[in-house]
Copies of this chain bind each other. A is one copy, B any other.
Amino acid sequence: MTSFSLDPRDDLPLYAQLARQLREAVTAGRWPAGRPLPSVRTLVGLLKVNPQTVLRAYRELEEEGLVEPRQGQGTFVRTEAVEAAAEARRRELLEDIERLARQARDLGVPEEVIVQAVRKEKGES
């Protein structure tokens, strides 16, 4: 149900793109605790990249404490960490939005136009 896509032309390294997508999937609550994430080999096959690239993405998540690998079984979500990560992400997003909004205002964008942008997606779900 969850799909991944990598773009070699992106500024972000492939492993970081993959890590980001995995992080979002995990944070959003897909991949319940009992089911392992897709195996390294599976992703290698799907994404046509080197095992190292996938491994590095998984290592990233592991270092963040989001996920734990178990020898011979696969990589599993550490549910305790998920909500904390989501909360951190929310704070970070709000700060970023604040900062960008300030920049936009400084460049003369009327506040209501910015608010409009924030509300824009509302009707599209």
Residue numbers of A with Cβ under 8 A of B are: 8-9, 13-14, 27-28, 63, 68, 70-71, 86, 89-90, 93-94, 96-98, 100-109, 111, 113-115, 117-122, 125
Contacts and interface: CB of A to CB of B under 8 A. Distances in A.
Nearest to A96: B100
A98 B118 CA distance: 5
Contact of A104 (B63, B94, B103): B94
Given A68-B9, A107-B27, A113 B94 contact: yes
Chain copies in the assembly?
Answer: 4
Contacts of A70: 8
- Residues of A contacting B: mostly: helix
B107 A121 contact: no
Contacts of A113: 94
Nearest to A95: B117
B109 A119 contact: no
